[in-house]
């Protein structure tokens, strides 16, 4: 059982992930569900070690021995590229492979909100794409960058862990830096990126105070900065950014953040009602004067109300997005209810739009 054969099957079955664990059959995730491949041998220590030696370099193996964690990219010519995470569990190796398509899907292919095309053309500011792990944040960012690459001449620098989609130079010139191989940390790479004459900087993950602080500073100094966070709504995203700073700095950060934020896009994936495939639902908060004022004043609890009434500015609540997907019969009511943080509010919205009977 060679890892390439498993990954070829993954591509053929349109699986998003492959999971290898000790004493389990290889598992494919297809449209969000797990499918053990019981016709393949059960994974054992020998298989795991062979996979590890096949996909890693000596330097990567040394990193894993030191840190017991490893992220890397693996490619099979003519088949696909894969983002790989290696871990230890109960003293044995474990692998998760995420398929990264060769071709970058477009904003239209992904049915992303039209405002994505407008946002990526901004000359400066901060755009955050957030959502749980596996919600498609990296794909959304790649589609937005590719749209800019088709339309404008900009110098783009990405900092990723690891590099996923490969961008070709079109109208833009693109430098992609891999955490580990090309740079040691997000915040150091981001600081140095400011000296590399960039127009656009993409930060794969804004995970710590130093990275977030530098991203805000870069946005202030005339760059367009895009980054991701693992948050589930726009107000929580604002609080996460502010709260990572020491209390004595938070008022100043509120002011800075309110001045640079252009938009927060929160996304989550739902299975299509028809069966195969998934579709994204979004919450969109745009940096209007009212939104900036609420952030500056520390009234993030009022942001949800502002999003609800901000349709003319391109804003959208998650519940509005879910209700629209149900109206179009793309997702079921049950799946929409599973994704909302307020089932009563979504139910009222569905009733208001005549999608479900008030008696229900």
Please state the domain extents for the chain. Answer: 3-100, 115-316
* pLDDT, tens only, 333-351: 999 999 998 899 999 999 8
Quick check: 94 pLDDT over 50?
Answer: yes
Would you state the pLDDT for residue 290?
98
Question: In CATH, which of 3.30.450.90, 1.10.150.120, 3.40.50.2000, 3.40.50.300 is domain 3-100?
Answer: 3.30.450.90
Residues in contact with 318: Cβ distance below 8 Å, sequence separation at least 6, in sequence order: 233, 266, 268, 281, 282, 283, 339, 340, 341
pLDDT recorded at residue 282: 97
Looking at the DSSP assignment, which residues form a beta bridge with residue 74? 82
**pLDDT in the model for residue 87:** 97
Note the pLDDT of residue 358. 58
**For the residues of 305-316, what is the DSSP string, one character each?**
HHHHT-GGGT-B
Give φ, ψ of 66 to 5 degrees: -80, -40
| Residue 120 predicted with pLDDT over 60 | yes
Q: Is the fold of 3-100 the same as that of 115-316?
A: no
- Residue 7: CB atoms within 10 Å: 23
Fold of 115-316: Rossmann fold (3.40.50)
With 0.75 as the threshold, say if the pTM is over it: yes
Identify the band that residue 133 occupies on the pLDDT scale cut at 50, 70 and 90: confident
Burial 30-52 (b: 16+ CB within 10 A, else e): eeeeeeebeeeeebeeebbeebb
Instruction: Please name the helix (run of DSSP H) or strand (run of DSSP E) that holds residue 123, with its range, or none.
Output: none
Q: Is pLDDT above 90 for 309?
A: yes
Whole-number average pLDDT of the chain: 94
Nearest-angstrom CA–CA distance, 324 and 353: 9
**Model confidence at 233: pLDDT above 90:** yes
The sign of the dihedral angle between the CA atoms of 190, 191, 193, 194 is positive
Residue 331 pLDDT greater than 70, yes or no: yes
pLDDT at 225: 97
Interatomic CA distance for residues 184 and 334, integer angstroms: 44
What count of Cα atoms within 13 Å lies in the side-chain half-sphere of residue 252?
Answer: 8
pLDDT of 179 reads 85
pLDDT score of 355: 80
**Is the pLDDT confidence value at 360 over 60?**
no
Neighbours of 60 (CB within 10 A): 18
Give mean pLDDT, residues 248-275: 95
């Amino acid at each position: 059982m060679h890892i390439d054969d498993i990954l070829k099957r993954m591509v053929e079955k349109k699986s998003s992930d492959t999971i290898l664990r000790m004493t389990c059959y290889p598992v494919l995730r297809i449209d969000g569900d797990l499918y053990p491949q019981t016709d393949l041998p059960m994974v054992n220590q020998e298989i795991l070690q062979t996979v590890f030696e096949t996909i890693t370099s000596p330097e990567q193996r040394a990193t894993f021995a030191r840190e017991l964690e490893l992220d890397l990219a693996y490619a099979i010519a003519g088949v696909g590229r894969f983002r790989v995470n290696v871990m230890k569990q109960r003293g044995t190796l474990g692998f998760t492979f995420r398929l990264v398509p060769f071709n970058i899907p477009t904003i239209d292919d992904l049915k992303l909100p039209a405002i994505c095309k407008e946002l990526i053309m901004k000359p400066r500011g901060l755009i955050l794409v957030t959502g749980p792990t596996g919600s498609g944040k990296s794909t959304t960012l790649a589609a937005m960058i590719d749209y800019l690459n088709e339309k404008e001449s900009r110098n783009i620098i990405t900092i990723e862990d690891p590099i996923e989609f490969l961008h070709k130079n079109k109208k833009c010139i693109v430098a992609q830096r891999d955490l580990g191989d090309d740079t040691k940390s997000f915040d150091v790479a981001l600081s140095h990126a400011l000296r590399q004459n960039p127009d656009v900087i993409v930060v794969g993950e804004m995970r710590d105070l130093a990275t977030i602080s530098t991203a805000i500073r870069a946005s202030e100094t005339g760059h367009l900065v895009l980054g991701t966070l693992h948050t589930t709504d726009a107000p929580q995203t604002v609080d996460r950014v502010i709260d990572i700073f020491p209390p004595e700095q938070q008022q100043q950060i509120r002011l800075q953040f309110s001045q640079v934020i252009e938009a927060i896009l929160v996304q989550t994936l739902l299975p299509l009602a028809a069966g195969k495939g998934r579709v994204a639902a979004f919450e969109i908060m745009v940096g209007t004067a009212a939104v900036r004022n609420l952030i500056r004043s520390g009234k993030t609890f009022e942001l949800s109300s502002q999003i609800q009434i901000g349709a003319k500015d391109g804003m959208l609540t998650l519940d509005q997005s879910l209700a629209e997907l149900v109206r179009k019969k793309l997702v079921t009511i049950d799946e929409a209810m599973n994704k909302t943080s307020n089932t009563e509010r979504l139910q009222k919205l569905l009733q208001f739009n005549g999608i479900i009977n008030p008696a229900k």
